[in-house]
Amino acid sequence: MTLYEADPETQSSLEEDLSRFGRPTVNWGNLFSVEGPVLPTIWHRNIWPETLCFPFVSIGQTAKTLRSLGALWVARPQDQFRRHQLIQDGLPRFQPKPRAFPFVRPQGDVGVWTLGKDGQVWACPRPASPFPGGDPLLAENKIDPPSSAYRKLQEALSWLGRWPGPKDRCLDAGSSPGGWSWQLAELGTEVLSVDRAPLDPRVSQRPNVHFTEGNAFTWLPAAVGRLDWLFCDVACYPQKLWDWVKIWLESGLVGQIVVTIKLQGKTLDWEILGRFSAVPSSRIVHLFHNKHELTWLWPVTSRSAPVPMKKELRSSD
């Protein structure tokens, strides 16, 4: 079976996401069990493909079995927290430390396991995400950035496995107060930054940040010219974002795109999400730092994508 691990705050969104495919689903805490091949879901925190099931006999035997299946394991308990800890104590110590961005995503396998239903142990030696629970464990900078939004950008670029460099030209649309522009400036790239509200002076005064006050969606290819990267974290309706992104895609004047899809209320607009997902070599992901929003990435290489992709997202009907 395949297990889909949800963020507790968006668990209902993953449940709706899975329901679109018509397969029987069994819920266990933040985990959803579905038989068959991996589904191209969006709202998961992690996916456990080809999850193994074996009976719980004892704490020592469970630890021994897990050691025989892989080198490193992280418990994802849904209940029985003390028992999970005792089993984890019998496994090799795994203490991931926060990483300073930028970093290359780890390639090694860190397995995930839990005590499931009916006295079973569920274990996946090679989950989709290399980060336990989907958390990339980014080292936090509480001094320099004007907002915490930079962490979302760091995670998106880490997911892609690439980021802008000193020779790149970027547009940061909807940049105020400047979390994303700050991070891009730290990478040494040339940043065209635009928003109706001003940037934090700590960002706007940087020599490689060029700020313009105004409507980000009026910045079109004919006037802006060639971009290596297009970034957008504007709070707007998904349809408006799609109309603007589509213009840039059709222009052929942008190399790579990272945008946040801000969702309105609890209703998920699967039709618009389908338009984004249908773009070849693209991917919609729910990042650890997204909360009730999504991130769209283009292009995504086979090395970036940890789970099978489909060119088109199924609509709700």
Domain positions in the chain:
2-134, 150-298
In this prediction, residue 309 has a pLDDT band, given cuts at 50, 70 and 90, of very low
**Tokens at residue 29, please?**
């805490």
The 3-state DSSP class for residue 182 equals helix
pLDDT tens for each residue of 47-89: 999 999 999 999 999 999 999 998 799 999 999 999 999 999 9
Q: Which percentage of the chain shows pLDDT scores above 70?
A: 93
Alpha carbons 174 and 195: distance in angstroms, whole number = 5
Q: Cβ of 165: how many Cβ atoms within 10 Å?
A: 12
Q: Which residues contact 80 (CB under 8 A, 6 or more apart)?
A: 115
Residue 209's pLDDT is what?
Answer: 98
Alpha carbons 312 and 17: distance in angstroms, whole number = 14
Q: Does 313 score more than 50 pLDDT?
A: no
Q: Does 306 score more than 70 pLDDT?
A: no
**Tokens at residue 234, please?**
């504007």
To the nearest 5 percent, what fractions of the chain are helix, strand and coil? 30, 25, 45
Region for 134 from its dihedrals, namely left if φ exceeds 0, alpha if ψ lies in -120 to 50, beta otherwise: left
Alpha carbons 170 and 189: distance in angstroms, whole number = 7
Q: What is the mean pLDDT of the chain?
A: 91
pLDDT tens for each residue of 78-133: 999 999 999 999 998 887 889 899 987 766 678 999 999 889 999 999 999 888 78
Per DSSP bridges, beta strands 25-28 and 190-195 are unpaired
pLDDT tens for each residue of 134-182: 889 899 999 999 999 999 999 999 999 999 999 999 999 999 999 999 9
Q: How far is CA 168 from CA 95, 148, 178, 192, 209, in A?
A: 36, 24, 18, 11, 12
The 3-state DSSP class for residue 64 equals helix
pLDDT tens for each residue of 183-211: 999 999 999 999 999 999 999 999 999 99
- Asked if the 150-298 domain carries CATH number 1.10.1380.10, the reply is no
Which of these, 214, 211, 217, lies nearest to 146 by C-alpha position? Answer: 211
Q: What angle do CA 37, 126, 56 make, to 5 degrees?
A: 90
Region for 162 from its dihedrals, namely left if φ exceeds 0, alpha if ψ lies in -120 to 50, beta otherwise: beta
Do 153 and 179 meet the contact criterion of CB atoms below 8 Å apart? yes
- Asked if the 2-134 domain carries CATH number 3.30.2130, the reply is yes
pTM recorded for the entire structure: 0.90
From start to end of 147-199, where are the E strands? Answer: 169-173, 190-195
Do 2-134 and 150-298 share a fold?
Answer: no
